[in-house]
Chains A and B, each alone.
Chain A
Amino acid sequence: MAALLGILLVLPMALSDRPFELRMMVVIFLYAMLGHGWNILGGYAGQISVGHGLFFGLGAYTSTMLSLKLGLNPWFGMAAGGAAAAAAGVLVGIPCFRLKGHYFVIATLVVAESAFQLFAAWDWVGGAMGLQLPVQEQGLLNLQFHRNKVPYYYIALGMLAAVTALVWWLERSRFGYILRALRDDEEAARSLGFSPALYKLLAMALSAGIVGVGGVFFAQYVLFIDPFSVLALSFSVVIALIPILGGAGTVAGPMLGAIVLVPISEYSRVLFSGTGRNVDLLIYGFLIMLISVYRPDGLAGLFRARRERRAYVSG
C-alpha cells in the first residue's frame, strides 16, 4: 500500500513529457473517486442510481457559474459545488427513495435525463453550447495550470486518497454497517430502529457531494463544460460501471474499475481518433452485459473467490 502510494507520488517525474499518460492517470484518479461516491449509495446502501451524472454536472455547473457570474474563487466553488450536489441528492432522494428496485433505477434515470434536457435548452447556463471558463493566472489559488499539468495530478491523487480513506473508515463505522443492513434487509434494519429513509438520504448526500466535487475538479481541469460532457446519460453509466466492474460495496472496487476502464476509453479514443464513434461505450456496453451474466460481483469478487478457494483448500 505504502509502496504503491510512493510510486504514484514519484510517477509524474517519468510522465512530465508524456501528456497522454499523465492525462490518463488524472482521469483514473478522478473516475475512481466518482466510483467511490457512487459506491457509498449503490454498493453499500444498495440503491442503484444510473443518474449520478446529474451530481457531477451540478458540481461543474455550480462552480463554473459562480466563477463566471460572480468571479468567485474555484476553491469556494468546489465547496459550493459539492454542497449543491449533496442538496440536489437529498431533493432527488426524498421522492425517489419511496421507490425500490427497478422503480428506483428508472426514477434516477428520468430525473437525470430531464436535467440533461433542461440544461441543454437553458440559455442562461450556456444551453447546448456549454460554458467556457475564463483563463486565469495559473497557480493553486486559481486551480488552473496551463503549461505544466502535473499539479492536477497531485490534486486528483490527493482527492482520491482522501475519499478512499473516508470510504475505508465508513466501511468500518456504525454508519457503514447500517447502510449494509439496509441493503441486505430493509425491514430488519427498520425493526432495529434505523430509519431507512434517513440513512438512505445521508448516503445519497455524501455520495452526490463527492461526485459533485469531482465535477468541479473536471471543470477546472478541462476549462469547458457542456451538457454532453458532464450531464449525459452515458456519463452516468460510466460512473456506475466503474464500481460495478471493480466490485460494488468494496473499497478496492472503484479503483480496480477505473484502472481497467479508463485505459480502454483513452486508447480506443486514440485508435479511432476523431471519428466520434464512441468505441469506448461500445466496449463498455458489452462489458456490462458480460459482467451481469458471468461475474455479477465484479473483479473484486474474482479476487475474493480465489482467496476463499485457497482458504478452503488449505483449511
Chain B
Amino acid sequence: MSGDLLVQLLLSGIGMGFIFALIAIGLTLIYGVMNVVNFAHGEFLMLSMYASYLAFATWGADPIVTLPFVAALMFVFGLLVYYLLVRRVMQGSMNSQIFATFGLMVFLQAAAQFIMGADYFAVRGGLLSGVLEVGSLILPAPQLAAVVGASTATGVLYWLVFRTATGRSLRAASQDRQAASTLGINVDRMYALAWGIGAACVGIAGSLLSNFYPVFPRVGAIFVLIAYVAVALGGFGSIHGALVAGVIIGLLQVLAGFFISSQLKFVPVYLLYLIVVLVRPRGLFGRL
C-alpha cells in the first residue's frame, strides 16, 4: 500500500481517536471526581449532536460556529443533571447511583426518538465539508477539524485541571472528600463542576462529530461503548489514560476497518477490552 494512503488512514484514526478521547475524558473526569459512572454519557453526546444539527437546519449556523454555544449548553445541562438527579442519590446505595443515570440514559434516548423520530439527520454542505489537498495527500476537512478541535479542547482541559486553583480543588475533592472540605473546598460545587465540564467535553465532541457523522437516537450507544473501553484501557479516573487510550482505539478501529472489514471494525476494540479486563483490570494508568 502507498505511503499516502497510510498517512490518510492514520490521520483519520487519530481524528476519531481524539473524538473518542474527548468523550472518554468527560466520563473519566466525572468518575474520577465522584466515583459515579455516567451511564447517560452517550446520550449527552447525542443531545449535543442534535443541537448542532438543529442549529444548522434552522438557522444555517455551522456546527463549527455553534460549537462554543453547544459546549456551554451542555455545561448547564451537566449541572442540571447533577443537581436534579445525581445529588439526590449520592447518599443512597451504589445500585441507586447506577440506576439513576441508567434511567436517564433510557429516558433521553426514548425522548429523542419520541421528538425526532428514528431517522438519521446529517449536516450537509457545512463549512467543513470537502477535502484539503496537501501535495498528493487528500485530507478530509471534518477529520482535520476534529483533530485540531479535540486536541485544543483537551489542552484547555489539562490547563484547567492541572494548572489552576479550581483544578486543584477539583483534584483535592476527588482524592479525599473529607480532607478537601476541611480545607474549605466546597465539595458539592466541585462535583457539580465535574458534571458541567464532563458534559461540555462531550458537547464539543458531539459538535465536531456532527460535521461528518449522522445523528440518530442510538448514536450515543455506539460511541459511549468505545468510551467505556477507552476509560477501562486508560484506567478509571485517569485523564492521561483516557487520552492515550482514545487515540489507540481510534487507530485500531481505522486499521481494522481497512484490513478486515468496515462492518467489523469495532470487534478488535471489544477484544481489547476483554484482554484489559482479564490481564490488567486497572488499565494503563488506573488506580483501581
Contacts and interface: CB of A to CB of B under 8 A. Distances in A.
Interface of A: 48, 50, 95-96, 98-99, 101-103, 105-107, 109-111, 113-114, 117-118, 121, 233-234, 237, 244, 248, 276-279, 281-282, 284-293, 296
B266 A99 contact: no
Contact of B105 (A48, A114, A285): A285
B33 interface: no
A289 B232 contact: no
Given A101-B94, A278-B114, A293-B89, A110 B99 contact: no
B41 to A, nearest CB: 11
B270 A110 contact: yes
A114 B270 contact: yes
Contacts of A101: 94
A110 B225 contact: yes
Contacts of A95: 274, 277-278
B277 A96 contact: yes
Contacts of A102: 31, 35-37, 94, 98
Contact of B108 (A98, A103, A285, A293): A285
The B interface, classified by DSSP as helix, strand, loop or mixed, is helix
Interface of B: 31, 35-37, 39, 85, 88-89, 92-100, 102-111, 113-114, 117-118, 221, 225, 228-229, 232, 236, 263-264, 266-267, 270, 273-274, 277-278, 281, 288
29 contacts: A48-B98, A95-B278, A98-B277, A107-B277, A109-B225, A110-B225, A110-B228, A110-B270, A110-B273, A111-B274, A117-B266, A233-B221, A237-B102, A276-B117, A276-B118, A282-B107, A284-B106, A285-B106, A285-B107, A285-B108, A285-B110, A289-B103, A291-B96, A291-B99, A292-B92, A292-B98, A293-B89, A293-B92, A296-B93
Contact of A277 (B114, B221, B288): B114
Nearest to A284: B106
> Top 4 nearest A-B pairs by Cβ distance?
A285-B107, A288-B103, A285-B106, A281-B110
A276 B112 CA distance: 12
A285 B273 CA distance: 28
A142 B50 CA distance: 48
Contact of A288 (B102, B113, B264, B267): B102
